[in-house]
Amino acid sequence: MGRSDPKSDARSANLMQALSGRTEHVVHLTHNDLDAVGSDAIHRRKYGEVFTVWSSVGKFLANFDAVAGSPGRGDLLSISDIGYQQGVEQRLAKARSNGWRIEWRDHHRWKDEEVKAVEKKTSLLRVDVSTCATGLVARDLAGGDPVAEEIARVVCDYDLWKHQDPRSKVLGQVVMQKGFREYVRDNLVRGTILDAKIEGEYERIVRDMERDIRKSLRHTTIIENGRYRIAFAPLYGYPSETAHAIRDELKTDIEVVVSDNGRFSIRSVPPVSHLIARAFSGGGHPHASGGTFQFGLIDRLLFWLLKRNRHYRLLAEEAESIE
């Protein structure tokens, strides 16, 4: 039997205590990137006071446990920008039994059986892969609100890799810096996209980002044994921008940017990122997803020394096996 993580247990207990004492009547459980921030801003324009739970994909079930185990009192639990995960049905059932009304809006790809299972346990499930989560939330909660529509346009430009609005990449980077997630969110609630503080932080980020991307490029490994030219690189920061730079410079079809804990971001020209990621405990979108390599001690050592290991070839084989 696996041992529990004391820090994780403490975080869950603290979250449950905060949820039990909340005065807000809407709890928003969402991701932790710009799309989540945009979604949260629109929730706040719609509902006013909102209790927000930011969550990585990996910690979603643990955070859902904390919410589901807290008293709902007939309040709304709104989930956004996080896709289906095995085991959510039990948590949805527990949340409903504790008095939560549940709505779930997501733009990732779901299987038909996943949709059917979750629909039975929610008041509303909306899955739409044609837009970003903020676009979906804006359409559902804030139709006719021009500020919400503008927020959705900017956020979707970044989240869907359109890159037509220069403001979106500024927000996409700044929102991931410590202390800026809520700052950007509160600006968006007021209808402010950029200000001097955000622009100044972005200038600092760009300097760091250029340095980190060059470092990743120096340690990039190329595997080309079939249809795809696949790049693997260690992550020093800024996964999307690193993948984009690798594609531009090395003319690759698939880019895999790997953290030292085994988590990776994958980008692809062909619509296969989500299919590859599923084989590595992950998922996402056809052109942008994430997963995890299960690093053992030798894997970690080789990655630290050589910036590569056996998992690169396993992923390349998985990519080539997709019909």
Confidence of residue 275 (pLDDT cuts 50, 70, 90): very high
Per-residue pLDDT at 41 exceeds 60: yes
Q: Looking at residue 235, what is its pLDDT?
A: 97
What's the mean pLDDT when you consider all of the chain? 94
Q: Looking at residue 12, what is its pLDDT?
A: 67
CA 314 to chain centre: 24
* Rounded Cα gap, residues 63 and 34, in angstroms: 19
Q: Looking at residue 62, what is its pLDDT?
A: 95
pLDDT tens profile 70-126: 999 999 999 999 999 999 999 999 999 999 999 999 999 899 999 999 999 999 999
Q: Compare 157 and 240 and report the one with higher pLDDT.
A: 157
Question: What are the residue ranges spanned by the domains of the chain?
Answer: 6-155, 219-321
- Edge-first strand order for the sheet with 76-80 is 51-54, 26-30, 76-80, 101-106, 124-127
pLDDT tens profile 208-237: 999 999 999 999 999 999 999 999 999 998
* Rounded Cα gap, residues 254 and 243, in angstroms: 9
Give the pLDDT mean for 191-196.
Answer: 98
Long-range contacts of 189-192 (CB under 8 A, 24+ apart): 189/41, 189/44, 189/45, 191/147, 191/150
Q: Looking at residue 6, what is its pLDDT?
A: 47
Q: Looking at residue 284, what is its pLDDT?
A: 86
Contact 230, 223 (CB under 8 A): yes
Beta-bridged to residue 233, according to DSSP, are 257
Confidence of residue 134 (pLDDT cuts 50, 70, 90): very high
pLDDT tens profile 2-39: 444 444 555 667 999 999 999 999 999 999 999 999 99
Q: Looking at residue 11, what is its pLDDT?
A: 64
Q: Looking at residue 283, what is its pLDDT?
A: 87
* Rounded Cα gap, residues 222 and 247, in angstroms: 11
CATH code for the structural domain at 219-321: 3.10.310.30
Per-residue pLDDT at 1 exceeds 70: no
Topology classification of domain 6-155: Rossmann fold (3.40.50)
Q: Looking at residue 285, what is its pLDDT?
A: 87
Proportion of the chain above pLDDT 90, given as a percent: 90
Q: Looking at residue 10, what is its pLDDT?
A: 55
Give the pLDDT mean for 163-179.
Answer: 95
Q: Looking at residue 58, what is its pLDDT?
A: 86
Q: Looking at residue 3, what is its pLDDT?
A: 43
pTM as predicted: 0.80
Give the pLDDT mean for 126-153.
Answer: 97
6-155 shares its CATH topology with 219-321: no
